[in-house]
């Protein structure tokens, strides 16, 4: 049996209270409840208020994870934040979260890997602990997707929501922990999902505002095909690296972007839908926060517990993707 180096000691989550339903969307853009449900599986999503920051949501999820692990903020060696929606462009949201938590001894940084962000920061946490640089890593995935989507574009706006998930990663002491990590990217496909305006290449000005290029642009169908292909491949690889068979996966927790992507990924990974965690109908796509929020819910609901084999798999802009085999 593979001996893990690090373990997910605890999890936490934060979802804003405000619910935006499909019916609400039918009043804002040319869409129907039937189209959204049939094409995506989404029924509603959460929306953070204008005074709730990405930092606020991350801090709430992180505080819950720290308390559950019995770890003080001052014990954190490294704070890694994944977000596609930083509160400001400089400095990192991780530094703002560090200050709010009082994680004074930690190095803090943001990682940009879009919806795959949680799997990326898990892999980095694992490497950091393996190298001996530190023992406690706080990973936080926090996203305010409603702040970067185009509320007038029906093909993207109905898909997204806001929220945050967090985990404390510690050195493993037994056979529970991360057994395999497969993280990948293909920058040749970067234009499929992007925010082209407002960065250093095309600094924010009136023309960016006029053509709305500071907002999310996606070629949905292409992203869909690549998502299924990449997540299936990564799932099979992580299962094999962990020394499992598909039958030994107790729960598959995929990125929650679209129920059709989830079903196809599960089919190719040979995991039946009864063993797949789904909450896309309640929250839509919260980018990198989908996986840690789902992991936290699955633990809370008792769908998994100590010793369960859990496969995390995600996909996003970059393109980036990956899978993590975890014994919780």
Is 134 one of the binding residues for ligand UT7 (CB under 6 A)?
A: no
Is 285 one of the binding residues for ligand UT7 (CB under 6 A)?
A: yes
Q: Which is nearer to ligand UT7, 78 or 223 (CB)?
A: 223
Q: How far is CA 274 from CA 113, 233, 241, 278, in A?
A: 29, 21, 23, 10
Instruction: Determine the 3-state secondary structure of 220 from DSSP.
Output: helix
What is the token pair recorded at 136? 């406690």
CB 254 within 8 A of CB 227: no
Residue 104 CB, shortest distance to ligand UT7, in Å, is 34
Residue 227 CB, shortest distance to ligand UT7, in Å, is 5
Q: Which of 26, 321, 299, 306 is nearest to 173 (CA)?
A: 306
Q: How many chain residues touch ligand UT7 (CB under 6 A)?
A: 20
Is 285 catalytic? The answer is yes
Is 108 one of the binding residues for ligand UT7 (CB under 6 A)?
A: no
Strand partners, 178: 326
Q: To which H or E segment does residue 59 belong?
A: helix 54-69
Q: 129: number of CA atoms within 13 Å, CB side?
A: 26
Is 35 one of the binding residues for ligand UT7 (CB under 6 A)?
A: yes
Here's the x/- map for ligand UT7, 240-279, by CB under 6 A: it reads as -----------------xx--x------------------
The single residue among 154, 171, 229, 303 that binds ligand UT7, judged by CB under 6 A, is 154
SS3 content of the chain, % helix, strand, coil (to 5): 40, 25, 35
CB 128 within 8 A of CB 137: yes
Is 309 catalytic? The answer is no
CB 87 within 8 A of CB 93: yes
Footprint of ligand UT7 on 188-247 (CB under 6 A): 220-221, 223-224, 227
Q: Which of 163, 173, 107, 100 is nearest to 134 (CA)?
A: 107
The single residue among 101, 140, 158, 311 that binds ligand UT7, judged by CB under 6 A, is 158
Is 281 catalytic? The answer is no
What is the token pair recorded at 33? 């409840």
Residue 23 CB, shortest distance to ligand UT7, in Å, is 13
Is 31 one of the binding residues for ligand UT7 (CB under 6 A)?
A: yes
The single residue among 316, 323, 327, 328 that binds ligand UT7, judged by CB under 6 A, is 316
Q: Which is nearer to ligand UT7, 2 or 21 (CB)?
A: 21
Where would I find the H helices in 176-219?
Answer: 206-211
Q: Which of 195, 252, 257 is nearest to 223 (CA)?
A: 257
Is 37 one of the binding residues for ligand UT7 (CB under 6 A)?
A: no
Annotated catalytic residues are 115, 255, 285
Q: Which residues bind ligand UT7 (CB under 6 A)?
A: 31, 35-36, 39-40, 115, 154-155, 158, 220-221, 223-224, 227, 257-258, 261, 285, 315-316
């Amino acid at each position: 049996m593979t001996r893990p180096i690090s373990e997910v000691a605890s999890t936490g989550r934060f979802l804003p209270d405000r619910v935006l339903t499909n019916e609400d969307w039918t009043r804002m853009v040319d869409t129907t409840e039937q189209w959204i449900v049939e094409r995506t599986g989404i029924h509603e999503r959460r929306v953070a208020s204008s005074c709730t920051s990405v930092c606020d949501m991350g801090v709430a999820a992180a505080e819950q994870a720290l308390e559950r692990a019995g770890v003080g903020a001052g014990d954190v060696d490294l704070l890694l934040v994944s977000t596609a929606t930083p509160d400001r462009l400089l400095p990192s949201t991780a530094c703002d979260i560090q200050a709010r938590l009082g994680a004074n001894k930690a190095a803090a940084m943001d990682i940009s890997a879009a919806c795959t962000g949680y799997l990326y920061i898990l892999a980095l946490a694992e490497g950091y602990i393996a190298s001996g640089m530190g023992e406690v890593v706080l990973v936080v995935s926090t996203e305010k997707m409603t702040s970067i989507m185009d509320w007038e574009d029906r093909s993207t706006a109905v898909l997204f929501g806001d929220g945050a998930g967090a985990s404390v990663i510690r050195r493993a002491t037994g056979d529970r922990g991360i057994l395999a990590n497969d993280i990948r990217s293909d920058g040749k496909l970067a234009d499929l999902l992007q925010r082209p305006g407002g960065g250093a290449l095309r600094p924010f000005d009136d023309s960016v505002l006029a053509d709305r290029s500071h907002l999310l642009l996606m070629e949905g169908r292409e992203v869909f095909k690549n998502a299924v292909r990449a997540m299936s491949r990564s799932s099979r690889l992580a299962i094999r690296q962990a020394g499992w068979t598909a039958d030994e996966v107790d729960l598959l927790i995929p990125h929650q972007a679209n129920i059709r992507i989830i079903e196809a990924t599960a089919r190719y990974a040979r995991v039946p839908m009864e063993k797949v965690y789904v909450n896309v109908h309640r929250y839509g796509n919260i980018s990198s926060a989908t996986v840690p929020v789902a992991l936290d819910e699955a633990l809370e609901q008792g769908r998994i517990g100590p010793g369960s084999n859990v496969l995390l798999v995600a996909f996003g802009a970059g393109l980036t993707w990956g899978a993590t085999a975890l014994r919780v």
